[in-house]
Structure 1
Amino acid sequence: MWQRIPSGRRAAWSAVAAALVAGLLTVGAAPAPSAAAGPDGVQQGLNALVRPGGVPAALASVQDRTGRSRTYTAGVGDLSTGGKVPNDGQVRIGSNTKTFTAVVVLQLVGEGKVALDEPIETYLPGLVRGDGIDGNRIKVRQLLQHTSGIPDYEGLIEETVLRDRYFEPRELLDLALRHKAEFAPGKGFRYSNTNYVLAGLLVQRVTGRPLPEEIDRRILKPLGLRHTSFPAAGDRTIREAHPKGYRRDAADGQLRDFTELDPSAGWAAGQMISTNTEVNRFFTALLAGRLLPAAQLAEMRTTVPIGDTGAGYGLGIISRPLPCGGVYWGHGGDIPGFESRGGVTEDGRAANVTVTTVPADDAGTRQVESVVEAALCR
């Protein structure tokens, strides 16, 4: 629900991505090309995503190494009215939220208030108990890196419940702890939203403040991310200009408006709202060392393999290989109605793409990722 982490061999870079790279123009060049001149590669990629049978809308923001940004849209922002897709509109960013949560934890590490290799029991005594699950054996690092073995609660919640159902973080944790551990701590990798619910509870216990307030105080305000927010309890809306998000009904295959929902089932793992441009700004600032001391940023970028995909998971951040060489760092996120993919290169190029329904399979997600790769490999 909050992120698609494919398993198995990483698919070869698709022909569509190669075509996109060949067509890319320099990011930040103003103004946008005229219709007569034809669209550039990023626009071609978004147009391919919204082809008949594809997603309703796609939005992108691409930043060059000097920090200049360019935004793109394709498709229809509202299927009922035919309304346009708002330029750089707000979207639900799903599991990109995990990186914000991880940054706050790592800031607390830098302040000497949390230790990565300390058991979670130290900070949340008596809370993490289950079949093969013992908070005395699970380190804070293992929560942030998904190597704790704690089961994921995500598959235990019906997506249709998300419209109106409010979940307390402890309720999400309890759902997961009813199930047996996936493996002993440190003995494997398994993506689990439960890890980040615990990370959020850790932040609240150590700081004595709500997680959203800590994210706002430590990240959003310092970076000037005015269009990024952690929705308050009971807030089902996206407050600024936005495309509508859709969920494909399993029974008849029709797209249903799923824009308004209670995102509390994501909480520290997937509740936030932002824009493509501000997601780029966040990851750029993070990789540039503006949010974390060097020691904690190095810890964050130390990865474990995600199967044999070629990607690696650090402490709330993912390293993915680029088809043109090198890697990019980001996260990505899925939540009913929206899927986002993107990241930042070592030299400061950034791209983020959002579509307004979660693709049905890994092939659809790969096509979204191909637009990101093409933008970064221009």
Structure 2
Amino acid sequence: MNEHAPQRRAHRIRLVRYAMTATATAGLALTAFAPAPASAAPRPDTVQQRLNALVKEDGMPAALAAVKGRDGRSRTYTAGVGDLATGARVPVDGQIRAGSNTKAFVAVVVLQLVAEGRIGLDTAVDTYLPGLLRGDGFDGRNITVRQLLQHTSGLPDYMDAPALADFTAVQYRWFEPRELLDGALAQKARFASGTGWEYSNTNYLVAGLLIQKVTGRPFGEEVTKRVIDRIGLRHTYVPAAGDTAVHEPHPHGYLRTAPDAPLVDYTAMDASMAWAAGAVVSTNTDLNTFYGALLGGRLLPAAQLAQMRTTVPAELLGDGVRYGLGIQSRPLTCGGLVWGHGGTSPGYRTRGGVTEDGRAANITVTTVPDAPTGKRLTDAVDTALCR
């Protein structure tokens, strides 16, 4: 769940506040991937050096990556230790909690329902969830579905509620979505709907409730049927109620509760606190496959994909970053854009995405980094895609 929060809340740990990595200029039309030019893929030594530095110089317990180069070949990398208690190695392409990458999955489902005529993108949320959003400065009658997906609703972030101030106290606690929403409704609006941009996990909490109301099925089942199973993501799942484990080989994830505090193993957790904003478990390779299928037109009709890639400035996420509907774009130093999202969970952070010509990279570290290290993680993605 994720990040790059405004300065006034930068001292607090975020699940999804810092998650993101890709979306481009407004109105960008759907473009199929061009044929991959004959060129060398990212040099293993260069990418490996970046991962090694994240561990040895920045203190990340582990780093792991999956990179698809210009030649179409995929490579995986690991660095560090997968389990600090036992010294076990990092599993190659191990499962990780993908955090706010979940938002891209949820946005796809909403846009599929738009394509089916079951949801109107510029229709008020209150049409589907009457009376749900009423609070200090916000009203569901004035917030559209598009504004939810693009973080332009002005809704406050439920992650700022007192109940989630200490992640160690709620590691195994089950939250109902409505309980999380109540934590947001008790706060003031960030701005009037449609007049600004600010990342808020509440937007995707409401999007999950919207999916359930329209389909009559749990949001996780819809994500599984419409996205995960559709493109064959064999190592990706939405945790069921009460499922606190990571199912397949994985590096452990660690939470630091204060700058000088010891790391706490936060691998097992009740993901209900993240729900539709950040609960998905995946691998770096599956994330590459997902974003490649999405940008390649396999999950959405052209009209809805074009809407998804219509972006607004989101400089709080980094220089040149723009946010669309559940997906972001970030400029690359070698030219062009990387499209994806990124994600943060208490024990993991992932950055990455895909390019127009089919290159892909996702890199994960196994604790939430400080701001300078987070920048170096983003730079490592740039290295993987540009070399």
* TM-score clears 0.5: yes
Q: Does 1:263 align with 2:277?
A: no
Q: Does 1:89 align with 2:94?
A: yes
The answer for the alignment partner of 1:375 in structure 2 is 384
Contact 2:156 2:188 in 1 (8 A): yes
d(CA) in 1 for partners of 2:144, 2:250: 39
d(CA) in 2 for partners of 1:373, 1:122: 42
1:121 to 126, 143, 165: 126
Classify 1:105/1:229 alpha carbon distance in 2 versus 1 (closer, same or farther; 3 Å).
Answer: same
Instruction: Select the structure with the greater relative contact order (CA < 8 A; seq sep ≥ 6).
Output: 2
The answer for the alignment partner of 2:365 in structure 1 is 355
2:327 to 317, 332, 337: 317
d(CA) in 2 for partners of 1:249, 1:283: 32
Q: After TM superposition, what 4+ stretches of structure 1 lie above 3 angstroms from structure 2? A: none
1:212 to 220, 226, 242: 220
Within-5 A mapping of 1:93-104: 93-104=98-109
- Give SS of 2:377's match: helix
The answer for the alignment partner of 1:26 in structure 2 is 40
Classify 1:224/1:28 alpha carbon distance in 2 versus 1 (closer, same or farther; 3 Å).
Answer: farther
Contact 1:99 1:316 in 2 (8 A): yes
User: Residue deviations 1:88-116, cap 9 Å, x none?
Assistant: 00000000000000000000000110011
1:111 to 92, 113, 116: 116
Shift of 1:251: 7.2
The answer for the alignment partner of 1:20 in structure 2 is none
Contact 1:124 1:202 in 2 (8 A): yes
d(CA) in 2 for partners of 1:179, 1:185: 15
d(CA) in 2 for partners of 1:104, 1:114: 11
Contact 1:7 1:306 in 2 (8 A): no
Shift of 1:253: 2.2
Q: Which residue identity does 1:376 align to in structure 2?
A: L
Q: Which residue identity does 2:282 align to in structure 1?
A: S
Q: Which residue identity does 1:329 align to in structure 2?
A: W
The answer for the alignment partner of 1:280 in structure 2 is 288
Shift of 1:256: 1.5
User: Residue deviations 1:178-200, cap 9 Å, x none?
Assistant: 11111111000010000000000
d(CA) in 2 for partners of 1:4, 1:55: 18
Identity across matched positions, percent: 61
The CA RMSD measured in Å over matched residues stands at 1.6
1:68 to 65, 73, 86: 73
Shift of 1:66: 5.2
Shift of 1:249: 3.4
The answer for the alignment partner of 1:227 in structure 2 is 235
TM score, norm. by length of structure 1 = 0.90
Within-5 A mapping of 1:8-27: 26-27=40-41
The answer for the alignment partner of 1:159 in structure 2 is 167
**Is there any run of 5+ residues in structure 1 with no aligned partner, and where?**
9-24, 30-38
d(CA) in 1 for partners of 2:42, 2:331: 24
Contact 1:60 1:276 in 2 (8 A): yes
Q: Does 1:182 align with 2:190?
A: yes
d(CA) in 2 for partners of 1:345, 1:91: 22
The answer for the alignment partner of 2:338 in structure 1 is 328
Q: Does 1:41 align with 2:46?
A: yes
1:170 to 168, 173, 178: 178
Shift of 1:263: 1.1
**Number of matched residues?**
351
- Give SS of 1:256's match: strand
d(CA) in 2 for partners of 1:252, 1:329: 35
Shift of 1:52: 5.0
Contact 2:5 2:199 in 1 (8 A): no
Contact 1:66 1:348 in 2 (8 A): no
- Give SS of 2:191's match: coil
